[in-house]
Amino acid sequence: MTLSSSPSPTTDDQPFRLRWVVLAVVMTANVMDAMDATIANIAGPSVRQDLGGSASALQWIAAGYTLAFAVLLIAGARLGDIFGRRRVFLIGSAGFTLFSAACAAAPSMPVLIACRALQGAFGALMIPQGFGFLKQVFPNQSEFDRAMGFLGPATGVPLLLAPIVAGALIDANWLDVGWRLVFLINVPIGIAALAAAIPSLPDSPHRPQLKLDLGGVGLVGLAVLAIIYPLIQGQESGWPLWTFAMIAAGLGLLYAFMRHERSHEENALIEPSLLRNRDYLSGIAVVLFFFGAFSGLLLCVSLYGQLGEGWSPLHAGLTLTPMVIGIVIGMTISFALVERLGRHLLHIGIVLIAIGNVVIALVLTGADSAGTWDLVPGLLLVGAGAGTSFAQLFGFVLGSVNMDEVGSASGVLEATQQLSTSLGVAVLGTIFFSAFRHHLPPEALQITAWACLAPLAGAFLLIFRLPMRARDEQELAAAAA
């Protein structure tokens, strides 16, 4: 969860009366976001069959949400500081619920993609406030730790189960609405969360003296859009000159954003000192490579099954179950080994993911068709490697920053994770669809699996730049508060 920089007004250990209701509201918000960030992987082919659209539209359904979420995530935390967490959370929650309904009612693919982006934008207002609420209503450290113990599974389990739930909802086709139920299900949940939030959420001090760096938001938004748009659309357009010019312009805008932040230190979205910390920037690159490879493969396995093999959405979702099992196993083992192995635990995770991709590629070599059981060994290894790294990666990256930079550094990492999902969907999705047009479906997934090795190799090498030991979790919580 993104960490807000606003301090808690609580000065003693007296608990807030409705603190457990607040925890339930924050958990519900995280469940809705975790589900919506991944369900598009399963729902996309059904949406396209109903609304039409090109192959790139499937990528935009997923990338539109995470792109808007990533760009506005840090701004959402700052807006909570300026106008108060309660107000910003309620606006974000209401907007997220409204555009969930709009996604369900979308009459065309462009409208759906636009609603997905707006859904992500309002999610970026809602999610960053949660950690601040919990620090505010649980001033007692033992109760706060207990609350965080509930929050982790409430966020992680829906993220892991989202493909299966999405597939089951689409196949069930209740009320004859098909894929629309995947988005419609958020509406009663969002309304219930709002009904509980209005009487229970406390406010935080408003800090109108702070200013939102609109120039920085605009620059980083234009930069990432200029990079991701041609990566998704270039394949269908035949890679004309404008696609390369647009990517170059996006890289130039990213450089301009970094210069802008350094010259606007007082209201900067990112602590300027972080932009001078090469170890931290290496960690940002690790996050981009790691989550980009993982999320891109996740999308392509689902597309392979539904578009190439004719699987139902539920079948495609269940095919990812070995990956989920692997993630749980990897996360469990990682907590036992992190102190002994240090950052080499991340190396082991990356190697396991790479081996999983190689196994998938070799199984598909020369095959005219491949079923769920053929993919099980590779997906299990990918999941085990991802779980080994998931739980520990941020702690190692944050080990390279000072304690007074932890809040800002954590927010940037969360935004980077969302951005990496968009990049993974854009790059690996484009590779998959390009191969899908000229090869058999197994060959398309095989080529994508081999392509995953490039970002994984980059992440493996950059991990050597991270601290040998991760930052202690309680230190991080204290710094964020």
Q: Provide the 10 A C-beta neighbour count for residue 173.
A: 13
Cα 461 to Cα 335: distance, rounded to the nearest angstrom: 23
What is the reported pLDDT for 448? Answer: 97
Residue pair 467/346 in contact (Cβ under 8 Å)? The answer is: no
Q: Which fold has domain 274-481?
A: Growth Hormone; Chain: A; (1.20.1250)
**Burial (0-12, 13-18, 19+ Cβ within 10 Å), 10:** middle
pLDDT, tens digit, 9 for 90 and up, residues 392-451? 898 899 888 888 788 788 888 989 988 999 999 999 999 999 999 989 999 999 999 999
Number of H helices and E strands in the chain, helices first, is 19, 0
Cα 443 to Cα 215: distance, rounded to the nearest angstrom: 45
pLDDT, tens digit, 9 for 90 and up, residues 223-240? 999 999 999 999 888 899
pTM: 0.88
Q: Which of 74, 117, 76 is closest to 99 using CA atoms?
A: 117
Length of the chain: 481
What is the mean pLDDT of each successive set of 10 residues along the chain, which is 481 residues long? 43 66 91 82 90 90 92 88 92 96 95 95 92 85 79 69 87 87 91 93 82 89 94 90 96 93 82 88 94 93 94 92 91 90 94 97 94 95 93 88 83 90 94 93 96 97 91 56 49
In words, the CATH class of domain 14-203 is mainly alpha
> Integer distance in angstroms from the first to the last C-alpha of the chain?
13
Cα 65 to Cα 123: distance, rounded to the nearest angstrom: 9
Q: Provide the 10 A C-beta neighbour count for residue 199.
A: 8
> What's the angle, vertex CA 356, arms to CA 354 and CA 360, rounded to 5?
115
Which residue type occupies 197?
A
Q: What is 378-444 written as a DSSP string?
A: HHHHHHHHHHHHHHHHHHHHHTTS-GGGHHHHHHHHHHHHHHHHHHHHHHHHHHHHHHHHHS-HHHH
> What's the angle, vertex CA 458, arms to CA 457 and CA 462, rounded to 5?
120
Q: Which of 459, 451, 453 is closest to 428 using CA atoms?
A: 451
At 332 the three-state DSSP class reads helix
Q: CA quadruple 95, 46, 314, 169: dihedral positive or negative?
A: positive
CA 402 to chain CA centroid, Å, is: 25
What is the reported pLDDT for 1? Answer: 39
Q: Provide the 10 A C-beta neighbour count for residue 11.
A: 7
**Burial (0-12, 13-18, 19+ Cβ within 10 Å), 62:** buried
Domain ranges of the chain: 14-203, 214-263, 274-481
**Burial (0-12, 13-18, 19+ Cβ within 10 Å), 26:** buried
Q: How far is CA 348 from CA 341, 354, 383, 451, in A?
A: 10, 10, 13, 19
Radius of gyration of the chain (CA): 21
Do 14-203 and 274-481 have matching folds?
yes
Tokens 């139920």 sit on residue? 181
Q: CA quadruple 191, 196, 199, 201: dihedral positive or negative?
A: negative
What is the reported pLDDT for 361? Answer: 97
What is the reported pLDDT for 3? Answer: 43
